[in-house]
Structure 1
Amino acid sequence: MKKLLIYPLLALLFVAGTSCDNGFDELNTNKTAVTALNPAFMLNNAVINASFPGGTLVYEMGIVQHIVTPNSGVLTGANYNQDNRNVTQEIWQRYYRSVIRNTADAINSTKNNPNRSNLLNMARIFQAYGFMVLTDTYGDVPYFQAGKGFTDQAVLPKYDAQEAIYTDIIKELTEATAALDATKTRETADILYGGDIAKWKRLGNSLLLRAGMRLSKVNANLAQQTVQKAVQGGVMQSNADNAVVRHNANYVNGLGSTLNATEANNYYLAAPFVNYLKSTNDPRLRAIAVRYVGAASGPEQVPARANTDPAVQIGMPLGFDNTGITAQAKAEGLASFYEYSQLDRTRLAKLQSAMFLVTHSQTQLLLAEAVQRGWVQGTIANHYTAGVRAHMEQLAENDPGSAVPAAAIDAYLAANPFDASKALEQINTQYWISSLMNGPEAFANFRRSGFPNLTPNPFPGKGIKGNFIRRLTYPNSEVSVNSTNLKEATARMGVDDLDTRVWWDK
């Protein structure tokens, strides 16, 4: 009798148990949580974070003498030709953590999905761009194992030789650009070009042109072949093709953030840059510069004192610390060093100013040099003129107040025509101007071309042996955590200091 009672009881408990479990998984599932991330958003995150951090004011823009500060401490860098690893790490951290990681995730998420092949190849192109910035800045860097900490558990990635990196970058750009197909899915969520395949192809080929020209001193044959491939594929045709990060209230311009915050009174346009623009009556000076006439202190840099007239602009000379520049300003008849000209933070360097990564202007100037070298067909003067005009027209995108009138552009080009006897110097000096605010690219092309002809910073306490900084040093985190792989790289490349040249910088 007892057994007869036990069996119905067990059955009842079983039913009750299964009834309670029914819907349990659904009940414990967060219906608002993201279960799958669109890889297009990963690529977008990479693009947004490719905008340069404020540290490029300290080193890259200082090395090429666009910008200078007389201050030390956290701002020590190109102003004194000294190492400051709290700043040299900024590009490394930004690009590995937020550019390469996201492009690698986008590639990994789309590589087996033929419906997202365009997104895959867009991510490959942008990843190649990111790696170019990294290797041009530091030399040998983690490449083949980079961005694979999660997928391959490569948490201590090996460093690769820059020559091998460039070989693969050229391969990636060539293959990915050719594989883009306008008949396949258009990735409309893409914030760079809205999925426009023609523009992505022109970006890929323009980057290929840049990569080829970067090798002009170290491997002329490969450089020529790469440049020819890029031109045959079709490069940027107008400013509408520019690769540009457009900032907003949520994603602000890193340079603008620095120049509109605590460092507003600490950075000035360098005298060599201002003097060159004045010497050629360049209308861009009015679009770029502001001088707070009579300012005796930072708080006196007020709108009422702001003057954008090119005739009154005075660039800050290099080679002075905070004490020395005070005396120098007095010797020049200024109320204080706060009277020197600055990059206008109300126009060109606003919080929401655009950041131009690859431009039609730069591309045309590289083409001018490629024609001059006999690598491709064309008219040097036409490419040169188009490059200068494109940059002048580009300035209006940041602020209407920075627009250069068409008549002023025509007058400048008429007064400063292309001079074949100074071709390389003239082309690359214009590239220097065109790359203002893109410190990494200005720094790379200065080392590659040797132009403009800059006088070394005369600061007496410099920490370098040569005349100019040739690369940035690795982060302290790599020194302490990934030391074995870093030591292998420095044994191959050279000492981890500011004097060691990257592979293509001969």
Structure 2
Amino acid sequence: MELIMKKYISILSAAFLLVSTACDSDFAELNTDPNNADEELFDPNLLLPRELYDYGNMTTGYSGPILFQSMWMQIMASTSTGGANYYTNGDKYAISGSTTTYIQSAWNAGYEVTSRVFEMQKLAEEKEMPNLYALGDIVKVLSLSYVSDVYGDIPYSEAGQAEEGNTRPVYDRQEDLYPAMLEDLDAAILALDDSRDEITSDVLYGGDLDQWRKFGYSLMLKLAMRMVDVNPELSVEYANRAIAGGVFESADDEAVLPSDNTNGFANSNANALLTAADIYQVRWSKVLIDYMQATDDPRLAVVAEVPPAGLLANQNGSVVGDNDPDSQLGMPNGYDLNGGSTDISTEPDYPGGTGSGDDATPIGNYSRPTAIYRDRDAPVFVLTYAEIQLLLAEAAIRGGYNTAQTAAEYYENGVTGAMVAINKFGGTQISSGDMADYAANNPLDTGSEENALRMINEQIWATTGLLNNYTEAWNNWKRTGYPELTPVNYSGNFANGMIPVRQIYPSSESTTNPDNLSTAISNMGGNTWNTRVWWDTE
């Protein structure tokens, strides 16, 4: 399947080259503009992989998640500060030189994906491709639900109407947006018809409509569970509809996008973590490492390493460090290397540095991500079987949902599924025996609802964080409050000493859509990093 997916990406690259440079005699004979593909010639299927890749790009790398949510959620940590040291945004909630750019990246990328979807759907409708049109609606909901969870109220019902003259769309309130997205998603899944058009350039599922149905229903379950505290009736209705329709049944079903660095479609997280400054500055947080060590989590040896001693080795991503689980040490969040009261050396459990002289580094003993996270061909995890099983475990604990298994069974599926997903990175593999032993030794505590919900959602945090899906870890934390994290209150931070719960709207909206932006800010009760989205009730 991976080879097939990479083939589609290569086809996509070639197709876009054709669109932009076509000028051979055949096109001339057809009197076609040599710089544009005629609608009659262009297959709209070729837009689908670009939309999916761009969605993956939005959720990874410097578009925001690795700079903001990875460290807000104390999955990562960094001692960088000030100016061009961009990880200040995440570890300490402080402004850096490019914070304004990072704020708007998810917004711009999400609407770019949606714009491509609308263009694909326009062509699909003209060419009578109802399946491709329906997949467009699924991708639209996937993309704009992400944007809404990051910012709050957003344009949805009037999005993509610029060609019709509406360049200032209204912002849908999230309490209205969620039911609309779920309705659109349900209709799209039901519209898929195996007897109609074939999907020919699908990098996600190779054109398998049954797999797309499972993905659609799994996405529906995730969105439904967002609403457990604000609209429980609708949450139950759509979660049960998703369960009845059929969600992911194994790790073979999960939505994992391939990367293809050779053809220009690299994993954006790897692009970031291969930057020289990132190799040195980005470490695993103490909160995450302590969590994994407490249960002898077999993922620890796969994801973390202590670099060899010295500054040069710590700055070199090619050298292999010590991955013994007992050697791992997470970096506390909120420290710097500035020599003052927040210098890492003042931390009570500071282990000391490594190396000597010009080759000394104060942070050499702290664990960094292993080489699997620096692989530009690493997959991008959109939605996993593990996450869905853990959400079903929560639904079973809460009651009222039509779950077929016990919460403990779903939880076991989730924790083992998370390790199967980690193996998809390559590198050191976790054996099925180690997976089974971990699950047996760490069963779900169903003695109280609180204990069970804590364990389930801490596992979602760890699983999504280790799979580079930092924004999902953040969203689920906002929804549930798990894990319980201690905020950093670094001098000059932009979040009043609180962990940010949203990104503020892009400044460009104040000039391109000022009236509707003003209405949205009023409806939400403000436009700050501490303004909660509708479904986030603390």
**Where do 1:328-367 residues align within 5 Å?**
328=346, 331-335=350-354, 336-344=362-370, 346-367=371-392
Secondary structure, counterpart of 1:464 in structure 2: coil
Name the residue aligned to 1:18: none
- Structure 2 CA distance, aligned partners of 1:494 and 1:359? 34
TM superposition shift of 1:188:
2.5
- CA distance in structure 1 between the partners assigned to 2:35 and 2:93 by the alignment: 52
Q: Which amino acid aligns with 1:384?
A: Y
1:131–1:143 CA contact under 8 A, matched in 2? yes
What CA distance in whole angstroms lies between the structure 2 residues aligned with 1:257 and 1:214? 31
Shift of the 93–402 alpha-carbon distance from structure 1 to 2, 3 Å rule, reads: farther
Residue by residue, what CA displacement relative to the aligned partner does 1:449-480 show, whole Å, maximum 9, x if unpaired?
Answer: 11112222243443323632110111122233
The CA deviation at 1:244 is 1.5
C-alpha distance 32-310 of structure 1, shift in aligned 2 (>3 A): same
Residue 369 of structure 1 pairs with residue 384 of structure 2: no
Query: Contact 1:318/1:459 (CA < 8 Å) preserved in 2?
Result: no
Check conservation: 2:279, 2:317, Cα contact below 8 A. Answer: no
**Match for 2:509: what amino acid?**
E
- Corresponding position of 1:63: 72
Which residue of the other structure, out of 481, 489, 503, is the alignment partner of 1:450?
481
Amino acid at match of 1:379: T
Alpha-carbon spacing, 1:299–1:118, altered in 2? closer, same or farther (3 Å) = same
The code of the aligned residue for 1:376 comes to: N
- What's the secondary structure of 1:322's corresponding residue? coil
Q: How far apart are the structure 2 equivalents of 1:284 and 1:407?
A: 13
- Larger Rg: 1 or 2? 1
Q: 1:472 to 1:394 in 2, by over 3 A?
A: same
| Aligned counterpart for 1:42 among listed residues 43, 47, 54 | 47
State how far apart, in whole Å, the 2-side matches of 1:405 and 1:461 are. 46
Q: Distance in 1 between matches of 2:122 and 2:471?
A: 28
Paired residues for 1:180-199 under 5 Å: 180-199=192-211
One-letter amino acid of the structure 2 residue matched with residue 433 of structure 1 = A
Say yes or no: does 1:502 pair with 2:537.
no
Work out whether 1:128 is the aligned partner of 2:141. Answer: yes
Does 2:236 align with 1:227? no
Flag the 1:154–1:222 CA change in 2: closer, same or farther, 3 A.
same
- Give the Cα–Cα distance (whole angstroms) in 2 for the partners of residues 198 and 60 of structure 1: 33
Corresponding residue for residue 436 of structure 2: 410
Of residues 79, 103, 115, the one that matches 2:117 is 103
CA distance in 1, matches of 2:286, 2:475: 21
Distance in 2 separating the partners of 1:106 and 1:26? 26
In the alignment, the residues of structure 1 paired with residue 507 and residue 377 of structure 2 have an alpha-carbon distance, to the nearest angstrom, of 31
For the structure 1 residues 164 and 240, does the alpha-carbon distance in structure 2 shift closer, same or farther, using more than 3 Å as the test? same
In 2, Cα distance between equivalents of 1:484 and 1:200: 38
> How far apart, CA to CA, are the structure 2 residues paired with 1:181 and 1:215?
30
Contact 2:352–2:363 under 8 Å retained in 1: no
CA distance in 2, matches of 1:96, 1:339: 42
User: Which range moves more in the overlay, 165-174 or 334-343?
Assistant: 334-343
**What is aligned with 2:24?**
none
User: Identity across aligned pairs (percent)?
Assistant: 30
CA shift at 1:269, angstroms?
Answer: 0.8
Structure 1 pair 321–483 and aligned structure 2 pair: CA distance change class (3 A) = farther
Structure 1: gaps spanning 5 or more residues: 1-24
Task: Decide whether aligned partners of structure 1 residues 430 and 27 sit closer, same or farther in structure 2, where only a CA change above 3 A counts.
Answer: closer
Letter in 1 for 2:430: V
The equivalent residue for 1:20 is none
Quick one: distance in 2 between partners of 1:266 and 1:392? 26
Q: What corresponds to 1:8 in structure 2?
A: none
CA contact (8 A) 2:314 2:364 kept: no
Summarize the Cα distance change of 1:294–1:448 in structure 2 as closer, same or farther, 3 Å threshold.
same
SS of the aligned residue for 1:308 comes to: coil
Q: Distance in 1 between matches of 2:153 and 2:172?
A: 6
**Contact 2:313 2:319 survives alignment (8 Å):** no
Q: Is the CA contact (8 Å cut-off) linking 2:489 and 2:497 kept in structure 1?
A: no
Q: Distance in 1 between matches of 2:315 and 2:172?
A: 50
SS at match of 1:347: helix
Letter in 2 for 1:49: D
Contact (CA 8 Å) 2:461, 2:483: kept in 1 or not?
Answer: yes
Contact 1:318 1:458 in 2 (8 A): no
* 1:372 aligned partner, one-letter code: I
Measured against aligned partners, the alpha-carbon deviations of 1:62-85 in whole angstroms (never above 9, x if no partner) come to 111111222133333131123532
CA 1:162–1:301 in structure 2 vs 1: closer, same or farther (change >3 Å)?
A: same
Cα deviations across residues 321-379 of structure 1 (Å, max 9, x unaligned)?
232444247942232214311122x2134111111011111111111111111122321
Rounded Cα–Cα distance in structure 2 between residues aligned with 1:328 and 1:204 = 49
Coordinate RMSD, CA, aligned = 2.0
Whether the 8 Å contact between 2:32 and 2:38 is mirrored in structure 1 is no
Summarize the alignment of residues 81-480 of structure 1 with structure 2, pairs less than 5 Å apart. Answer: 81-82=93-94, 84-97=99-112, 99-111=113-125, 113=127, 115-149=128-162, 151-249=163-261, 250-262=264-276, 263-297=278-312, 301=316, 303-304=318-319, 306-323=321-338, 324-328=342-346, 331-335=350-354, 336-344=362-370, 346-374=371-399, 375-377=401-403, 378-399=405-426, 401-420=427-446, 421=448, 422-436=451-465, 437-465=468-496, 467-480=498-511
Alpha-carbon separation, structure 2, partners of 1:104 and 1:178: 19
Distance 1:220 1:32 in 2: 52
- Tell me: CA distance 1:153–1:139, structure 2 relative to 1, closer, same or farther (3 Å): same
Q: For residues 374 and 146 of structure 2, what CA distance do their matches in structure 1 show?
A: 21
The DSSP-based 3-state class of the residue aligned with 1:57 is: coil
Aligned partners of 1:140 and 1:159 also within 8 Å: yes
Q: Which amino acid aligns with 1:63?
A: W
Moved more, 165-174 or 32-41: 32-41
Q: Which moves more between the two structures, 176-185 or 192-201?
A: 176-185
